[in-house]
Copies of this chain bind each other. A is one copy, B any other.
Amino acid sequence: MDRFRTMESFVRVVRAGSFTIAASQLGLSRALVSRHVSELEGRLGARLLNRSTRSLNLTEEGAAYLEFCERVFRDIESNERAILRTRQEPVGTLKLLAPKSFGTMHLSDAVIAFAKLQPRLRVSLVLENTPYRGAYDFGERGLDLVLCFSTMRSASVVEQEIASVEWTLCASPDYLARAGRPQTPSDLGDHACLVHVDVMPNDSIWRFEGPTRPSLASQATAGLSPPKRGARRRKGPIAVKVRGAFFSNAALTLGKAAAAGLGVTLVPRYAVADDLAAGTLVNVLPRYRVASRTLLAVYPQAPVIPRKVQAFVEFLKVWMAEHDIGRRKPRVAAASTRE
C-alpha cells in the first residue's frame, strides 16, 4: 500500500480530529482512511492514536510519527517545488559546447549577454572542435546544449536551427592581381586554396551553386518563365576538389592567411566580415553561391526541455538575428558599430 497516502491520511485524521471528516477532505471513504491508519500502525508495530468513537487522541508514538510525517511532507513539497521551478525559470547550470572559432567570434558575446540576463543561472561555455560524439556529450559530459554546423543524425537528440551562416569565397586583392581572378569554380583547381578543416570528414571539396544571371533586366523582359525568388536562377551544384595550400580549423586564421595573400579561402562570412569591409579581402566568384551552413542547437530528446536550454536557444536565435550573424547580405558597417 502506498506509504505516502497512508501517511497523508494519518496526518489528515489527526488534524481533522476525525476519520469521517478526514475522509471527506481527502475525497476517500471512511473505510479506506481507517485502513490507511491501520496499515501504518501495523507496519510500525505501534498504535498511533487511541480511538474512542467520540474522540481521537494521539499516543506517544503517534505524536512522534505525526511530527515525522509533517517533516517529510514539508521536505517533499519544498524539494518538488525546487525541481518544478526548473521548468518555470532558468536555474542551475547551463553547459554549452560550441566550435572554437564560432564560439570565440560570436557565441561568447551572446553567452555573456545571456548570463547577464539570467543572474540565477550559471553558464559554462566549452569551446572545442572535437565534439559531436552525440549521446556521449549529453551523457558523460553532462552537456545541456551543443552548437554545431552538422547534423548529428540521431533520433535521440533534437536539432533546432538557430541561424543560417553564410560562407564566402574570398582572397586579397593583391593575390587576385598576382594569380588571376577565377571566373568559374573549376578555375579554383589552379589556385592556392586555404582550406578550413573540420574534424568531421570535411575534405577539401568545395561546393557551389550558380552562376546567377548577371542582369536582372533581361529576366524582367523575357516574361516566359515566372521570376523565381530573389530573381536568381541556379544551376546544379558544382563540386570542386581544391588543392590545399594551407589548412586550419580556425576560420580566423584562414582569413588572416588570405588577407596576407596566401590564396583563396572558403570560410564563414562572419570570420572575414571585417576584412571584407576594409577591403583587405574581396569576394571571389560573386555570381556563385556557396551553400550556407545552418547553425544547429542540439539537445537531448526528452519529454520536457529544461527551461534553461529553451531560454538560451530562444535568446540565441534573437541575438543572432539582431546581430546579423551569418546574414547573407550583412550590413558590415552596421554590424561593426553595434555593441
Binding site for B on A (CB under 8 A): 1-4, 41-47, 50, 52-53, 55-57, 59-61, 64-65, 68, 71-72, 75-76, 79-80, 82-84, 86-87, 92-93, 135-136, 138-140, 142, 156, 300, 302-304, 306
Find chain B residues with CB under 8 A from A304 CB: 41, 45-47
| A87–B45 CB distance below 8 A | yes
Partner of A75, one of B42, B60, B61, B68: B68
| B65–A79 CB distance below 8 A | yes
| A93–B46 CB distance below 8 A | no
Find chain B residues with CB under 8 A from A306 CB: 46-47, 59, 61
Partner of A4, one of B3, B50, B56, B68: B3
Q: A47-B302, A84-B44, A304-B46 are in contact. Are A139 and B52 (CB under 8 A)?
A: yes
Q: A44-B83, A45-B304, A300-B50 are in contact. Are A142 and B57 (CB under 8 A)?
A: yes
Find chain B residues with CB under 8 A from A65 CB: 79, 83
Find chain B residues with CB under 8 A from A75 CB: 68, 71-72, 75
CB distance from A32 to the nearest CB of B (A): 15
Pairs across A and B, CB under 8 Å, 14 listed: A2-B3, A3-B3, A45-B86, A46-B84, A46-B87, A46-B306, A47-B304, A52-B139, A55-B139, A56-B139, A57-B140, A60-B92, A60-B142, A72-B76
Q: Which B-chain residue is minimally distant from A1 (CB atoms)?
A: B2
| A303–B42 CB distance below 8 A | yes
| Beyond known contacts A2-B4, A52-B136, A72-B75: 20 more, CB 8 A cutoff | A2-B2, A4-B4, A45-B83, A45-B86, A46-B304, A46-B306, A47-B303, A47-B306, A52-B135, A52-B138, A52-B139, A57-B138, A57-B142, A59-B142, A59-B306, A61-B86, A61-B306, A64-B82, A71-B75, A72-B76
